[in-house]
Amino acid sequence: MMRKDGLRKQKTTYGILFCVILLLFVLVIGKLTWLQIINTERLANIAQERMIFEDIKKNPRGKILDRDGEEFAVSVMADSLYVDPQEIIDTLKERKQSSLVRETRTLSAKLLAPVLNMSQEELLDLFSTEGRFLWVKRTMEPHDAELAKRIIKENKLPGLHFIQESKRHYTKRGAAAQVLGFVGTDDKGLSGLEYSLDEVLEGKDTHYETLYDAYGNKIWDKAYPEPLKQKITQVYLTLDSKMQYVLEDAMEEAIKRTKAKGAAAIIMDPYTGEVLGMASRPTFDPNNFHQYSPEAWSNKTISMIYEPGSVFKPIVACMGMAEQMITPDTIFQDDGKIQVADRTIHNWDYKWEYKGKGKIPFREVIKNSINTGMVQLGLELGAHRLTNYSKRFGFGEPTGIELPGEESGILYKAEDMYKPDVATMAIGQGIAVTPIQMLRAICAIANGGELLQPYIIKKIVAPNGDVIRQGEKKVIRQVISKDTASKMRTMMEQVVEDGGGKSAAIKGYRIAGKTGTAEKLAEKGGYEKDKYIASFVGFVPADKPMYAMLVMIDNPQGAFYGSQVCAPIFRDTLQQILVAKGIQPYSGEGLPSFEQLEQVETKSVKNNQPVPQLTLLPDGKIKLPDFKGVDMRRAAGIIRQGRLRMKPHGSGLAYKQEPKAGSVVAEGETVEIWFK
């Protein structure tokens, strides 16, 4: 009986145990079903959130290049150091391993101060802040960053971390500085094209996933590779870097020579509207923009408003010819001065030419910049025609060039003008323009009457190679006929041949131009005493222009006439460009043709005359050869090899140079060579 009871109890125990096991099995299966089937998606997401994190890779800012692909602005990735002040303490584990407790903040400040070029006190203040993220040093030099990393690692300094950021570098320093602009520490464009094209140029972040373990350590697995380096946007400008070099050099020399307050110069293709060179003074180095005043950041070529003076006279002359009021042969009476209401207007040379030139054809009015003749024409045109034509030539509104900060100039309404206002506008006063407006209007004369929209962006190429924006010629309107433009070009050529613009002449080339000198506008109205704006505008060759150029000097000291101050700059700058570009002189001017120069070169080769060679020194400087006996074109080619600048004098074969043969010069310096 007892045995049966024992068996019964044993069966009961086994039954209960079986039921418990079965229940546990059912629970496990249920749990697995819940985890693996029913709730799998939610749990997978949780696991992914805890193990896989999104990392961001910073990419460099897009490039800015000249028309031929030479770099103006590039970006490189640089290390930036930041601190989490809450982490910059010794952990409990570290304290147990050492009998000494370090004052980590003080130690970190002491070790890093020399590398970061910061004071220990400044760093200690940063490390003692209550925040969780503070920049210590941004976009560090590679050597400094590597040294700082080594110090942090070897001394086990906690709380200090590196992240890569884009650092902007302007390869040509101050060249085209106001055009390019600059970026701030956050890699955001703050001026120039860097500002206006910020959305295009900014480096796009690359987002990718990285796997971490339970301790927060990154797991490098082939399933999660580093992203490939991203291609960047490229912005090609219409600027020619070689022309820009010559122009910058000319502006620098002009400021030193004239001690002027400022200057501006532009070179443009008169048939397309492409800006080939653009320089403004004062200037700055975009790599260290914060070291310069905001005035230096300003692009005077598009933002400075001034009265143009006599360079405006060709525009008024075109108005008169378009209205068939005059021809180049129309006779005007010049008495040296003219009375308009209560105002007497003199010629610029009234101090020594009291009686004027008497009866003269209109071409003489332009050639010698005679105010009396222009006043007579202006009064005949009247206020409405003067202002309407001025609008047609693009004055009183921005040109539309792709640069920020362009001004509109000042053009008064016809109904607000009195007779003296009409008279003074005819001689380039009472109207205010920007340099880019003035050059564009002159280009309309050079190209046969088309007013173009100037542009400075040649094309923008997306990271995938697609051209997303293409600069192209844009004709705003036909402002004058081809015949009127042709007659005006001829008169402007006479200005340089035998008039007030003689100092702009380049032997062997047909040059058309016009000088200008105007009183400087005062900020509170009226004019500043004994302060002037000198200018020269012209194009070459006169019959089929390739280059149009404007030079404006703000308040030169000493000589102040445009013919004295600006015309020589025009001449010297374009002479270098014409030679460098291989543009043949006009055969009727007594210069050797390119065929003759080729014969000289061939003869030199046959006679085994050694070709001068620049010597590149280990420190990057250049040793000059002896250019004696070398023709201008070959000399220019040799000079370009060393990225130097040539200032030629005369024509023929070289007989003198400065610096002398054997001198050591740096890249970008000017070598003067005399030819005969």
Q: Any idea what the CATH number is for the domain that residue 194 is in?
A: 3.90.1310.10
Position with higher pLDDT, 387 vs 611: 387
Asked if residue 419 and residue 323 are part of one domain, the reply reads: yes
In a domain, 207, yes or no: yes
Total domains, the chain = 3
Among candidate residues 599, 520, 598, 524, the one with its CA nearest the CA of residue 560? 520
Q: Looking at 389-484, which runs of residues are DSSP E strands?
A: 450-452, 457-461, 467-470, 475-478
Structural domain range at position 60: 55-237
Strands 615-616, 622-623: pairing is antiparallel
Cα separations in angstroms, 313 against 192, 374, 402, 448, 505: 32, 7, 28, 17, 20
Does residue 571 share a domain with residue 541?
yes
Provide the 3-class DSSP secondary structure of residue 332. Answer: strand
Residue 347 lies in a domain: yes
Distance CA 308, CA 466 (A): 42
Q: Are residues 191 and 325 in the same domain?
A: no
CA 502 to chain centre: 32
Does one domain contain both 135 and 89? yes
Instruction: Please indicate, yes or no, whether the overall pTM of this predicted structure exceeds 0.85.
Output: no
Span between the terminal Cα atoms of the chain, in Å: 143
Residue ending a domain, among 587, 621, 650, is: 587
């039921």: which residue's tokens? 19
382: phi then psi, degrees, rounded to nearest 5: 85, 165
User: What pLDDT, on the 0 to 100 scale, is given for residue 251?
Assistant: 92
Domain membership of residue 517 (yes or no) is: yes
- Residue 211 sits in the same domain as residue 256: no
- Where does a domain end: 541, 568, 587? 587
Same domain, 226 and 246: no
pLDDT digit string, tens, across residues 198-222: 999 987 766 555 665 655 555 554 4
Peptide bond into 142 cis (omega under 30): no
Beta-carbon contacts of residue 622 (< 8 Å; ≥ 6 apart):
614, 615, 616, 642, 644, 664, 665, 666, 667
The residue-averaged pLDDT of 43-47 equals 65
Other Cβ atoms less than 10 A from the Cβ of 51: the count is 14
State pLDDT tens for residues 242-277: 899 899 989 998 999 999 999 999 999 999 999 999
Does residue 536 share a domain with residue 395? yes
Taking the C-alpha atoms of residue 36 and residue 412, their distance in angstroms, rounded to an integer, is 81
pLDDT digits (tens, 9 = 90+) for 592-640: 444 444 444 444 444 445 678 888 887 778 888 898 888 777 787 788 7
**Residue 27 domain-assigned?**
no
Which domain-ending residue is among 534, 552, 587? 587
CATH number of the domain within which 359 lies:
3.40.710.10
Same domain, 567 and 581: yes
Q: What one-character-per-residue DSSP string does 127-153 give?
A: HT-SSS-EEEE-S--HHHHHHHHHHHH
Residue 46 lies in a domain: no
8 A C-beta contact, residue 297 and residue 193? no
421 and 553 assigned to the same domain: yes
Question: For residue 592, what pLDDT is reported?
Answer: 42
Identify which has the larger pLDDT, 254 or 10. Answer: 254
In a domain, 7, yes or no: no
Q: For residues 135 and 163, state if they share a domain.
A: yes
Mark whether 63 and 101 lie in a shared domain. Answer: yes
70: Cβ–Cβ under 8 A, 6 or more apart, which residues?
Answer: 241
**Same domain for 228 and 332:** no
In a domain, 19, yes or no: no
- 260-294 CB burial, b ≥16 within 10 A, e <16: bbbbbbbbbbbbbbbbbbbbbbbbbbbbebeebee
Helical pair 482-498 and 435-446, crossing angle rounded to 10 deg: 110
For residue 446, the SS3 value is helix
List all residues 6 or more positions away from 207 whose beta carbon is below 8 Å from its beta carbon: 54, 55, 56, 57
pLDDT class of 349 with cuts at 50, 70, 90: confident
Give the separation between CA 152 and CA 144, rounded to whole angstroms.
Answer: 12
Residue 662's CATH number: 3.30.10.20
Residue 641 in domain:
yes
